[in-house]
Every structure is written in structure tokens, then in C-alpha cells.
A and B are shown apart, each in its own frame.
Chain A
Amino acid sequence: AQSVAQPEDQVNVAEGNPLTVKCTYSVSGNPYLFWYVQYPNRGLQFLLKYITGDNLVKGSYGFEAEFNKSQTSFHLKKPSALVSDSALYFCAVRGPSTSGTYKYIFGTGTRLKVLA
């Protein structure tokens, strides 16, 4: 069965510093990977996705993610963090389930706190 892990509950980073939010996955076959951001009391907003092609994917708000097949990882990155980036970040994978359907499985989320 497919799964995704976000090993850090919270990441703290100083404003202006680079940030990384980690994600590893497990899926049979080719992975389809996504990152979403959630602000308090709001729905999830799509940031970026990896389907195929370049391992470095660029997305919204200056975020990017690097797909690493050998390490089964899809870490979210940003060169220079902003206080307004503080939010809850979710990694998701899409792959086949035991029923043969293709649902999106989300990690437990990582809370990013950018300190001024």
C-alpha cells in the first residue's frame, strides 16, 4: 500500500534563511507527488507536484521540491523563508490502492514556523 511520511512535526527557521520540509514516500510503481499548504482554519492550497521529468519542480510562492528516486524522497524547499510562509505543510502521494483505485494519501503534516 502507498504511504507518505513527514518525519518532522515542526520546523523552525529564521526569516531569510533557506528552509526544507522533509517527505518520504512508499508506492508501488511510479509515484505522483504533491505538496499543499494549509493556513489556520482554511482549506489546503496546492503548491506543486511531480509527475515525471526534471527532478527539481518549481511551484507557487517561490517553493520548489526535489524528487529523489533512490532515497524515495520529495523534500520541499525555499531559498529564503518569509514570516508569511508559516503554516502547515502536507506532502501527498497518489498510487494504486488494494481496491485498484488511485486515491491521494497525505502525510501527517509539518508545521513551519518562520521567526522574524
Chain B
Amino acid sequence: NAGVMQNPRHLVRRRGQEARLRCSPMKGHSHVYWYRQLPEEGLKFMVYLQKENIIDESGMPKERFSAEFPKEGPSILRIQQVVRGDSAAYFCASSPPGTGNLGNTIYFGEGSWLTVV
């Protein structure tokens, strides 16, 4: 049973380019979460999605960042016109269906490390 798959693991972008990070949840999981980890900092919640629906995007910057989880295919975190401050590790996690089952464990991928030069 494959775990949460993220790619690319490492991505280098020049300022102003776009970064696309992909996340395939664990089999049977329909909820996806994106977190950002800055160097020497904790995990910051960005967005919570289920297929074709954004449940909570309260942690997403208002500009340049977007996320989707289409009916088919992986979840995508998109960062447009990247700046140096976007350099961070971006982690995806997934959980089984059921927003009301608060005891569900979320399982993390290995992360995507974005470096903006």
C-alpha cells in the first residue's frame, strides 16, 4: 500500500517562474492537506481539500498561491511568480474520508523542497 507520494522532491525555480507541486494521496484517502515548513520553523497549515472541493484555505496566501484536487489525478499546489521567500519545504498529507471523524490520522508525504534563486 503506497504512501503519500509527492513530486518533485526537489525543485529549483528562478524568481518570477511558476512552481507546481503534486501530491497523490494514500489509496482510499480522499482528503488532502498542504503544509509549508520554512527553515527552522514549524509546519504552517495552508489548505485542506477533498476531491473537487476546497474545504479550508484559510492558510493560503491571498495572491500567487492556488490549490486543486481534481476528480482524477493528483492534488496540485501552484505558486505563480515565485519569490525568494517561497523557498521552503511543502508537505502534503492525506486522510480517509469523513470530515466528522476527528480522530482520523493524517499521513505525510516526503515533501517537496522548493528553492527560488
Contact = CB atoms under 8 A, between A and B. Distances in A.
A102 B91 contact: no
Nearest to A111: B40
A51 B107 contact: no
A106 B105 contact: no
Interface residues of B, number: 26
Given A32-B102, A34-B105, A106-B35, A101 B43 contact: no
Nearest to B95: A104
A42 B108 CA distance: 10
Contacts of B99: 101-102
A90 interface: yes
Interface of B: 4, 6, 33, 35, 41-43, 45, 48, 55-56, 58, 91, 93, 99-100, 102-103, 105-111, 113
26 contacts: A32-B102, A41-B111, A41-B113, A42-B111, A43-B91, A44-B43, A45-B108, A46-B105, A46-B106, A49-B103, A49-B105, A94-B103, A97-B56, A97-B58, A99-B56, A102-B102, A103-B33, A103-B45, A103-B56, A103-B58, A104-B106, A105-B45, A106-B42, A106-B43, A106-B45, A107-B42
